[in-house]
Amino acid sequence: MEIFTTGALLSDYLKKKKNTGKTIGFIPTMGALHDGHLSLLKNAASKTDLVVCSIFVNPTQFTDPKDLENYPRPIEKDIRKLEDSPCDILFLPDVAEMYSKGEVWQIDLGDLDKILEGKIRPGHYQGVTQIVKKLFDIVKPDYAFFGQKDYQQFMVISKMVDILKLDVKLIMCSIIREPDGLAMSSRNIYLSKTERIQALVLSRALIRTKSEFDQYDISELKSNAVNAINIREGIQLEYFEICDGETLMPVSSKQPKSLVALIAARISHTRLIDNIILK
Ligand code: AMP
């Protein structure tokens, strides 16, 4: 695996590879890698000739400075994991490489960055689109791989790709879960033993909603899930919504072509998100 820390060198290197007919698959991450990230690398390796992974804890997408400061950065461990995975190139820039002072970025994402995660973390998706656009400009991938785990993020990036007419195909990869159902996340390491058990309420509420989908209407499905969550100790539910899978607007009927249930909750100081595709 080759490691690049500057965009210009990586860009030159990949341009030469592309000229020889190689296709490029790209997986942007913030590190603290787990099997969810590794599944994206495997997907990329099965579809493209060269797999490029980036690790960059992007300051502009954090709404809480403490969260940014405390975000795990086990870089040595991450490099070892990538060396054992189908990763050809790691891009590991620092903040000064990615941002110059006083930069502004604003893209009109309509309602998509104002609902669900966007409502609770204002500006988050502006930061996400800002960094993903910069990374796409450097890597110029044929395909970019993202997890369903961050469903809204996928929709936001798809919208940016449409608006800016970027020449990249986005692939959504399934959520990788622990054997007991908890969605893998870099933030799971913050959970104590008790909180780790309490956290199971998220995936269980989603699985229950999917299994009850044919039996109940939307408002009943929502109240069943919310009631099941609220009787549990230690969980502060931020939202549980059933939304149109494309617009992410909350629905009141099962009419839309695709439906997804999305949940966000705090367990003590740890914020977790999860989702399930219902239709
Ligand atoms: P992050 O490092 O959290 O920014 O995530 C980088 C990429 O990994 C994003 O596309 C995430 O959606 C994806 N990802 C995170 N957790 C999982 C998971 N449990 N299963 C599949 N993909 C994931």
Hey, which residues does 50 pair with through a beta bridge? Answer: 24
Report yes or no on 178 lying in a domain.
Answer: no
Q: Compute the distance between CA of residue 72 and CA of residue 168 in angstroms, rounded to an integer.
A: 29
Structural domains of the chain, count: 2
First-to-last CA distance in the chain? Answer: 39
Q: pLDDT tens, 237-265?
A: 999 999 999 999 999 999 999 999 999 99
CATH number of the structural domain spanning residue 13: 3.40.50.620
| Same domain flag for 118 and 225 | no
Cβ(30) to ligand 1 under 6 A? yes
Task: Work out the burial of residue 257: count CB atoms within 10 Å of its CB; fewer than 13 is exposed, 13-18 middle, 19 or more buried.
Answer: exposed
Are 96 and 130 found together in one domain?
yes
Compute the average pLDDT of residues 78-92: 98
**pLDDT for residue 230:** 94
Percent of the chain topping pLDDT 70: 100
**Contact criterion met (CB below 8 Å) for 132 and 10:** no
How would residue 226 be classed by pLDDT, with cut points 50, 70 and 90? very high
**pLDDT at 182 (0 to 100):** 98
So what's the pLDDT on residue 202? 97
165 & 190 share domain: no
Q: What are residue 244's DSSP bridge partners?
A: 259
Task: For ligand 1, say whether the CB of 135 is within 6 Å of any of its atoms.
Answer: no
Query: Do 168 and 202 share a domain, yes or no?
Result: no
Q: How far is the CA of 219 from the centre of ligand 1 (A)?
A: 30
Three-state DSSP state, 263: strand
Per-residue pLDDT at 74 = 97
Could you tell me if 249 and 219 lie in one domain? yes
Model pLDDT for residues 204-214, shown as the tens digit of each residue? 999 999 999 99
Buried b (16+ CB within 10 A) or exposed e, 112-142: bbebbbbeebeebbbbbbbbbbbbbebbbbb
Q: What is the mean pLDDT of the chain?
A: 97
Mean pLDDT, residues 224-249: 96
CA of 149 to the centre of ligand 1 (A): 6
Convert the pLDDT of each residue in 152-173 to its tens digit: 999 999 999 999 999 999 999 9
75 in a domain, yes or no?
Answer: yes
Q: Based on the fold, state whether residues 81 and 44 are members of the same structural domain.
A: yes
Residue 269 lies in a domain: yes
* Among 26, 27, 29, residue to substitute to test ligand 1 (most atoms within 8 Å of Cβ): 29
- Closest residue by CA, ligand 1 atom 19: 184
Q: Which residues are catalytic?
A: 37
112 and 233 inside one domain = no
